[in-house]
Structure 1
């Protein structure tokens, strides 16, 4: 970030310091940034409450002993994978729920937290991009609508989005690879050297805590996000504010959890608020990482990194390979900026006219933008989904990035091959 500010300031050290302070002040004046940082801290409180109340132990007892659904190393990550599939309203909530469910099973069956972080990250964003009944869909519909308004393409935004999702190859492959890694216990690269956490709780058959101490806070969190998305979107889920919805959903969850735990006699008010502050304190460093990630993204945007990289795609490129090239450049932009949404905003207005001008399949090129954005975002250490998946799983960000990269690259190579094949077949 500092190197970027030095370049922007024209290598003037005084201006560099001034620009750096101004950037952080500007970020802290943005409502969505403050809400995101507060959400990162509050989720630590919710997770600490669930653990302290015995809800985690209750969940493990329910699935491992009473239901016998999780009885092996192979099945330990399946609940997290399923959570990542069915909760597609918001990628952050998906990662948080999948991480909370998976941690006790990973510790019990000797699976590293890095592998859990991989599952959380590799299911959340791909599913949100494949079933865009969420903020992802709202953004993409708006960007596609801009191309229709400009007269470059004709038709309805919804139809174009559905066609683009069909060609979102990376998301499909990433989900298949993730399931294969879970089912066959595939550990490659740095993942082979990761170590599991020691079990934190003994699961007994006597009088386990109620599983509802875990379930209800999670239900309130998910339902709150959906409800506030509808409220902030004026009844339209696609137009709701993700950051605002998550912030208020977590506030509501904390209030309802306090009432519920007090009524159940699980915690006194003193124990509740002590746990809330302890959980918030534990995730404050994550909030700081997020703040610096936002700052780096801003520096990349000011330096026009995305437009500079996209400028390499020219009319000389054969139309059959244009989708593959768009996928690669979108991935590079997403990696450099740490945001898939920013990549969509940069690349879609470039990809559509490029595809039209070269008579390439437009929907395929849109799908390449979405796939490249998700892939680059997965690999980026400054991506919010990367950081949140690490946070939810109790894994260091650096370790998560290193261990996930080989799997993401395998999925990306397969996706690139499919984009080239589809481009040749459809051109």
Structure 2
């Protein structure tokens, strides 16, 4: 019964959001339901709900992240108003001849920007939004392309703040087990081939582009090609740069108005991630990334980006008043997303108060077996991350339990499999949940309606998720992750090809 109660608020948020397409109201209702469970009556639940809102908004990390997202919106606004985004689009348009090519370019850029998922969405979204629009690629498809590369690439690396975080969790679990001779970073590297979902998800993107769309995404792409409506009638993008910011300076806009702010963003972000983790004090790179303060580092980078972009705007002889208006307009474009993020974080508080993660683990722990362990860890990670909207939260819940469990019932080989399964399941939920900040960021910088993005993406994500589950089951008899991945890639390609052909006949 405790398991059902603890899962009710987050699942209610997902179901209501998909059914009503009103994500803010759905999130608020689910938070109130959770508060009712905690407070005991519906009236006291109202007070508990707003207490949670206050706690979430005054949390230091959350507050910095709200500032970070606002600054990223302002930086993107300056790149648009100075004509930099249009200059990039014109430059790419001369070299990209089709909608398929524009989608493949988006995927390739997503693979290159691997060190942070938020920065990935900002850079790739701004670089390809106008280009894909020229070729009538729907906003839902662009959001899928952004979302399907950002988190999977951040968790695989080779260097990212995600990896630092993941290695720190592994190190803590090894300390609990007194495995002082084992290297946490080496264990992470050995777990990469077992991170089936992330690897298959990255492979699924070009496969879908080449083999054809299916499900709700096919409807969205057909609409965009035939009518030119990149967003479905009645849908509301989380952010519409064109409507919010007005006309750009296309006459004086040049490539460096886009590229220079991004170089500053990337450069300062890399340095700040290293510096805030103690790199300047002599820590090794991965140790510094494990201890870094992501919110501080990326806030510095975003601020540097805004200052640079504003300087370029002033160099174009835009007035200080124009710059101030662009700055505020950039903040406004992020407002719907900021509201969703506060509500989503509060759902995380609700699941914490109801011990959702502990109840899910307790419901399955007693009947786990070594052979089934990786698949069950993957499934539990999917449930926790989808319900909470947080891959990092799911990793934090699962790693201290699953790693010792794998070691006690198996060996280090099973530990590496378990680590890969933890990260796979955690990424799935973060990738698909409407209350995930990564999913929200993809909707923002693609200019997509958020629920439309979630609704069209889930069927695509279910294909690598289902194949991954089969591979974890097959690992009971096959020791080689590379052999399993090869078989999974063939199976996934066949499934996508078949679904694409079936969709083409509709």
TM-superposed deviation, 1:175: 0.4
TM-superposed deviation, 1:358: 2.4
- Pick aligned residue for 1:138 from 139, 164, 169: 164
The alignment status of 1:177 with 2:171, answered yes or no, reads no
- Pick aligned residue for 1:414 from 458, 467, 491: 467
The alignment status of 1:19 with 2:19, answered yes or no, reads no
What secondary structure, in the 3-state scheme, does the structure 2 residue paired with 1:237 have? helix
Return closer, same or farther for 1:346/1:318 CA change in 2, 3 Å cut-off: same
Conserved? CA contact 1:129–1:137, under 8 Å: yes
Superposed CA RMSD in Å reads: 2.0
Conserved? CA contact 1:52–1:275, under 8 Å: yes
Conserved? CA contact 1:108–1:198, under 8 Å: no
Gaps of 5+ in 2: 1-30, 231-241, 243-249, 280-287, 481-506
2:363 is matched with which residue?
312
Conserved? CA contact 1:58–1:208, under 8 Å: no
- Pick aligned residue for 1:3 from 33, 40, 46: 33
Q: Deviations over 1:229-255 (max 9, x none)?
A: 122112123422111122221111111
The alignment status of 1:211 with 2:264, answered yes or no, reads no
Q: TM-score, normalised by structure 2?
A: 0.79
Q: TM-score, normalised by structure 1?
A: 0.93
More divergent stretch after superposition (232-241 vs 304-313): 232-241
Return closer, same or farther for 1:42/1:239 CA change in 2, 3 Å cut-off: same
Q: Distance in 2 between matches of 1:259 and 1:208?
A: 14
TM-superposed deviation, 1:226: 1.3
Q: Deviations over 1:372-393 (max 9, x none)?
A: 0001111111011011111111
The alignment status of 1:363 with 2:407, answered yes or no, reads no
Conserved? CA contact 1:75–1:183, under 8 Å: no
Misfit runs of 4+, over 6 Å:
none
- Pick aligned residue for 2:325 from 274, 297, 306: 274
Return closer, same or farther for 1:414/1:208 CA change in 2, 3 Å cut-off: farther
TM-superposed deviation, 1:207: 6.5
TM-superposed deviation, 1:287: 0.5
Conserved? CA contact 1:57–1:209, under 8 Å: yes
Conserved? CA contact 1:107–1:198, under 8 Å: no
Q: Distance in 1 between matches of 2:317 and 2:259?
A: 15
Q: Deviations over 1:151-208 (max 9, x none)?
A: 2645111111111122111011000001212234x221111222436697xxxxx967
- Pick aligned residue for 1:384 from 437, 458, 472: 437
The aligned length equals 417
1:48-87 aligned within 5 A: 48-65=77-94, 68=95, 70-87=96-113
Q: Distance in 1 between matches of 2:88 and 2:476?
A: 47
The alignment status of 1:35 with 2:64, answered yes or no, reads yes
What secondary structure, in the 3-state scheme, does the structure 2 residue paired with 1:75 have? helix
Conserved? CA contact 1:224–1:252, under 8 Å: yes
